Amino acid sequence: MSFMGRVAATKGVLLRLREQLQFIEKGREILKMKRERLAGEVNSLLAEVRVRGELEKEIMGAYDSLKKAYSMLGYQNFQSIALTVGQTDVSGLTYSVMGVIVPELRIERDADISNIPSGVAYETSEKLSPLLMKIIKLGESEAKIERLVDEFMSTNRKVNALEQIVIPSIAGTIRYIEGRLYEEMLEEFIRTKHIREVIRRRRA
């Protein structure tokens, strides 16, 4: 997109375009810094989600233990024991990373497995209980990554648009106006010189 041919080639327009270009270039630098910060945040979170494969193996192991306890205790006994554990209370908060609202989960109260009377049920609970925090943390990290990546892609598109379209267009228009003004200055110089020459000849 170019403004050439649609703007007046005047010093006033040239000054405004130079100011506009300077403002846009500053905005581009701010967006680039934001993009780098978002990329850094995503990279730091990627280490947290790499545990998914190992976590899935742990869950499958705990699930096998759960099936064993269920088959040994039966539905009614298993249900009664589950009621003695209580529930895990989780609160959800949010905070901002470069203007992006991301979630933060906190466990306010953990399930208490100390009163489980059955050995096989207690063994199963020991395997399942620590996995809950890992699952919550993994979900939190994945949600953060999703939101940060969306904002990163949006910021990257803005930077590319400024660098590839907007800034080159304004810079090209500035060069066009500078060229026109230079041509007009030369024409005025030649015209003035010609008039002086005519006057000099008449006086002679």
CB contact at 8 A, 62 and 114: no
Please say if the pLDDT value at position 201 is more than 80.
no
What is each CA distance from 189 to 13, 20, 155, in whole angstroms? 22, 30, 49
pLDDT at 58: 86
**Tens of pLDDT along 63-114?**
888 888 878 888 788 778 777 777 778 888 888 888 899 988 887 777 777 7
H helix runs in the chain, sequence order? 11-49, 52-85, 119-161, 167-203
The domains of the chain, with CATH numbers, are 11-196 (1.10.287.3240)
Q: Cβ neighbours of residue 2 under 8 Å, at least 6 residues apart? A: 169, 172, 173
pTM of the model: 0.73
**Tens of pLDDT along 8-32?**
888 999 999 999 999 999 999 999 9
